[in-house]
Structure 1
Amino acid sequence: MNKLFSILVLSLLVLANGFVGTTSSFADGHEQTQMESAGKDKMGMDDEMMNKWMEYATPNENHKVLDALVGEWDYALKWWKAPGIKPEQSTGTSKIKWIMDGRFIKHKVEGTSMGMPFMGMPFKGMGITGYNNETNKYESVWIDNMGTGMVKGSGSYDAETKTLTEIGTFSCLGEGDKKYHAVIIYTNIDSFMYQWYMPGPDKKQYLAMVINYTRKK
């Protein structure tokens, strides 16, 4: 219990005071905080525990993978309600920026909703994505104004194929939680693609959504 209390107190100090040292920038100029170990004796931690905590709390090369997504984007979306039918289409804008000193990216979207009962209404969404140094997974959560549920997922990045793949769950009205998997394809510095797969009528996963992002000039 004492160790847990020490970790919680240290966490609050990190957030409030920063243990701020020197900083360096990712490509977009955000600041990546480098925390110092001042005050560890007061927390009752030995060097090993302090080092583990600092490693857990500090952004690293895995976080930099997300840097290519940062910026302002136009997007074009296609949505298939079921396999084999004509897709609905929509467009909008997206802003992605670093938050929490390079630990997470915040993704805000504005566009037009599709499908009943919200067809044509303004669509607003927000997502948070980061890399968890403890689980060694990319983790994300998504919310929007079309419902009160959260889409939650986790996954990994493949450097050879330049794809970030995640698996997660979302709430479907009247049907409970459903599983999905999604793929972010890093096309080039000025574009990327998001693919979303979900269960169809036969319970098999199908490609239900494709979003192409183009960087604003």
Structure 2
Amino acid sequence: MHKAAGKLLVIVALAPLATLAPAQTGDQPHQMTPAQKAEMEAYMKAGTPGAPHQALASAAGSYDLKVRSWHDPAGPAMEDAGTATRTMTLDGRVLVEDVSSSMMGSPFTGHGMMGYDNVTGKYWSTWNDTMSTGLMVSEGTCDPQGKTCTFTGGWNDPVKKTRVKARMTTRWTSPTTEIFDMYGPGKDGKEMKMMEITYTKK
């Protein structure tokens, strides 16, 4: 199903440019109109990795993780350790992250992807793990210095059957250390810090 969807996307994207192919009768290739040239340039620009993708690539590698999580803002944090591996895929367009840790005494694995959309000018992120069958999707921006990134997204609450909104920040305290914080609504509905993960690059 994924392959079929991918093929359909390519067909839809390139269909307007199909008339640019050389005629089969031996005629000279059609000259592109200004509008067709602009359209082709837009597609090329949208699909070409740039500086944001190079920044993502710099995060590739292996990490040790220190995980702290809270269910009550006034209570103590639960602490776990883990590891993460990050690799670039799709010819330098997407950063893939695989996490192995524990959560509430049980083995935990997670899989995330992060990229930068040249069209929207924003970063995007997806996340799946062994505590859910759902997909978390978020979008965000980074400061010009690349020291702090802020994302917003959410997931589906299995109890209330409603969408839970979340805010995530990532900040780099050194070239090899980054801290990820996730905030969401507490029992009183007010935002609270739910998780903190310290990544230390090996």
The TM-score bracket by the shorter chain reads 0.7 to 0.9
Q: Which residue of 2 aligns with 1:68?
A: 58
Matches within 5 A, 1:148-159: 148-159=133-144
Q: Which residue of 1 aligns with 2:4?
A: none
Question: Does the aligned pair in 2 maintain the 1:79–1:89 contact within 8 Å?
Answer: yes
Q: CA deviation at 1:84?
A: 1.2
Scaled by the length of structure 2, what TM-score is found? 0.82
| Matching residue within 149, 166, 174 for 1:188 | 174
Cα distance, 1:199–1:6 mapped onto 2, change above 3 Å: closer
Q: CA deviation at 1:87?
A: 0.5
Cα distance, 1:81–1:56 mapped onto 2, change above 3 Å: same
Q: State the identity %.
A: 30
Q: CA deviation at 1:112?
A: 1.0
C-alpha RMSD of the superposition: 2.4
2:39 aligned partner, one-letter code: M
Cα distance, 1:65–1:40 mapped onto 2, change above 3 Å: farther
2:166 aligned partner, one-letter code: Y
Tell me how far apart the structure 2 counterparts of residues 64 and 208 of structure 1 sit (CA, whole Å).
30
User: What runs of 5+ residues in structure 1 fail to find an aligned partner?
Assistant: 13-38, 115-119
Question: Does the aligned pair in 2 maintain the 1:40–1:50 contact within 8 Å?
Answer: no
Q: Which residue of 2 aligns with 1:35?
A: none
Q: CA deviation at 1:42?
A: 2.1
| Matching residue within 98, 107, 111 for 1:126 | 111
After alignment, is 84-93 or 167-176 more displaced?
167-176
Q: CA deviation at 1:70?
A: 1.2
Say whether residues 1:53 and 2:39 are aligned partners.
no
Tell me how far apart the structure 2 counterparts of residues 206 and 6 of structure 1 sit (CA, whole Å).
42
Determine helix, strand or coil for the equivalent of 2:83: strand
Tell me how far apart the structure 1 counterparts of residues 21 and 142 of structure 2 sit (CA, whole Å).
38
Q: Which residue of 1 aligns with 2:193?
A: 207
Question: Does the aligned pair in 1 maintain the 2:57–2:92 contact within 8 Å?
Answer: no
Question: Does the aligned pair in 1 maintain the 2:56–2:95 contact within 8 Å?
Answer: yes
Question: Does the aligned pair in 2 maintain the 1:68–1:189 contact within 8 Å?
Answer: no
User: How many residues end up aligned between the 2 structures?
Assistant: 181
Q: CA deviation at 1:126?
A: 0.2
Tell me how far apart the structure 2 counterparts of residues 99 and 193 of structure 1 sit (CA, whole Å).
23
Tell me how far apart the structure 2 counterparts of residues 61 and 194 of structure 1 sit (CA, whole Å).
22
Cα distance, 1:40–1:208 mapped onto 2, change above 3 Å: farther
Tell me how far apart the structure 1 counterparts of residues 106 and 19 of structure 2 sit (CA, whole Å).
53
Tell me how far apart the structure 1 counterparts of residues 10 and 56 of structure 2 sit (CA, whole Å).
28
| Matching residue within 167, 171, 175 for 2:152 | 167
Q: CA deviation at 1:160?
A: 3.8
Bigger CA radius of gyration: 2
After alignment, is 132-141 or 45-54 more displaced?
45-54
| Matching residue within 81, 99, 104 for 2:94 | 104
Cα distance, 1:11–1:73 mapped onto 2, change above 3 Å: farther
Determine helix, strand or coil for the equivalent of 2:92: coil
